[in-house]
Amino acid sequence: MNNIYQNIEPFVQLIKDSKTIVLAGHTSPDGDAISASLSLGMSLQKMGKEPIILLEEYGSSFEYLKGHNMVYKEGYENIQDIDLFISLDCGDIERLGLAKDVFEKAKNTVNIDHHISNNNFGKLNIVNPSSSSTSEIVFEIIDYIGNIDLDIATALYTGIVFDTGGFKHNCTTKRTHQIAGELIDIGVDSVCIHSNILTMHSLENSKLLAKSINNIYIENDIIISTLSNEEILSLGCTNKNTGGIVQYLLDTKGMNVAIFLYEKEDKSIKASFRSKAIDVNQIASKFGGGGHILAAGATIKDMTLEQAKEAILEEIRSV
Ligand code: 5GP
Ligand code: MN
């Protein structure tokens, strides 16, 4: 464990001293960003605070979590006089999306994250790339505050299960399992959470997986697939139905690097990188993104799907 513990006490003091507190996860929030935000929000409420959570729209598979009523639905320009802004699961300030403007207006800022690419953009930084997930770091914080309950535990377990792929990615540590054990002790329904987060999928998800398998290109141990916006729409799907595809590609026997690209409505390209060997954080950073050594992402604005595919392959060929 890095020295995150020494920053927890000053963080808790900042919470106590602040009135208007804003929490935000990254753009296109995933299970870790959502769970870290909701769990910390619930803990702050139990401390008598009224936190505002900024999260872009997320899928119905997280409906079973509590605390959605803290998520702010109005224009962000209405949020004023912010004492404390807490960024969760963001490697850099750009990952905050529209919430970046709110971050810049805040008196104090705290950056809680586990990405190796994190550039310590907060006034206070609680960053540990050895933690499986931001939710794992938030567990350490709430454990210190001492007000964990079943709803908070359920959210934390969800974030940890999501980012570890069910305790199977290499970010999973002894501490991750210890924390999971403590959360199960509190009463979380681990079977239900695993099903909701990992195994259950929609028919739309299956349709896009099938299409993306049709579009596979393989070069040595690199597997890459793409979906255009037109292909996504023609199947009656949205790009929210692409979860799990890149991991499925990586799990193909003999493959060591998987890339999945899809085109968004605004023509930008969302790239997901997964690896069993090479550092894909480095590759993603060449395209303005980042993440972890074996799992990273980027949004590419100035290329077509085919150009992005070729540019990424070129980058990987030169590693
Ligand atoms: P995914 O491929 O699932 O979107 O992301 C994989 C990992 O890379 C996640 O930890 C995610 O937070 C991170 N990531 C994805 N896109 C970006 C990006 O554009 N910039 C940075 N810094 N990290 C990203
Ligand atoms: Mn995460």
Cα of 208 vs centre of ligand 2, distance in Å, is: 24
Residue 1 confidence (pLDDT) above 60: no
Give yes or no for residue 291 CB within 6 A of ligand 1.
Answer: yes
| Secondary structure (3-state) at 272 | strand
pLDDT in tens, 228-263: 999 999 999 999 999 999 999 999 999 999 999 999
Q: 3.90.75.20, 3.90.1640.10, 1.10.3720.10, 3.30.460.10: which CATH number matches 4-198? A: 3.90.1640.10
94 near 100, Cβ under 8 Å? yes
For tokens 């099903």, name the residue. 195
pLDDT of residue 223: 98
- In DSSP terms, which residues pair with 23 in a beta bridge? 53, 86
Q: Which of 308, 309, 270, 273 is nearest to 292 (CA)?
A: 273
Question: Residue 40: which H helix or E strand, with range?
Answer: helix 31-46
Q: Which of 257, 255, 265 is nearest to 294 (CA)?
A: 257
Give yes or no for residue 31 CB within 6 A of ligand 1.
Answer: no
Q: What distance, in Å, lies between the first and last C-alpha atoms of the chain?
A: 30
Sequence spans of domains, the chain: 4-198, 203-317
pLDDT of residue 60: 87
pLDDT of residue 5: 87
Residue 156 confidence (pLDDT) above 90: yes
User: Which atom of ligand 1 has the smallest separation from the CA of 260?
Assistant: 2
User: Which amino acid residue places its CA nearest to atom 22 of ligand 1?
Assistant: 290
At the topology level, CATH places domain 203-317 in Diaminopimelate Epimerase; Chain A, domain 1 (3.10.310)
Pocket mutation for ligand 1, best pick of 30, 114, 287 (most atoms within 8 Å of C-beta): 30
Pocket mutation for ligand 1, best pick of 37, 89, 115, 293 (most atoms within 8 Å of C-beta): 115
Neighbours of ion ligand 2 (CB under 5 A): 32, 89, 133-134, 163
Give yes or no for residue 92 CB within 6 A of ligand 1.
Answer: yes
Give yes or no for residue 272 CB within 6 A of ligand 1.
Answer: yes
Alpha-carbon span 261 to 251, nearest angstrom: 17
Eight-class DSSP state of 197: I
Give yes or no for residue 309 CB within 6 A of ligand 1.
Answer: no
Angle at 253 between CA 252 and CA 257, to 5 degrees: 60
pLDDT in tens, 158-185: 999 999 999 999 999 999 999 999 999 9
pLDDT in tens, 36-82: 999 999 999 999 999 999 999 998 889 999 999 999 999 999 999 99
Residue 92 confidence (pLDDT) above 90: yes
Residue 314 confidence (pLDDT) above 50: yes
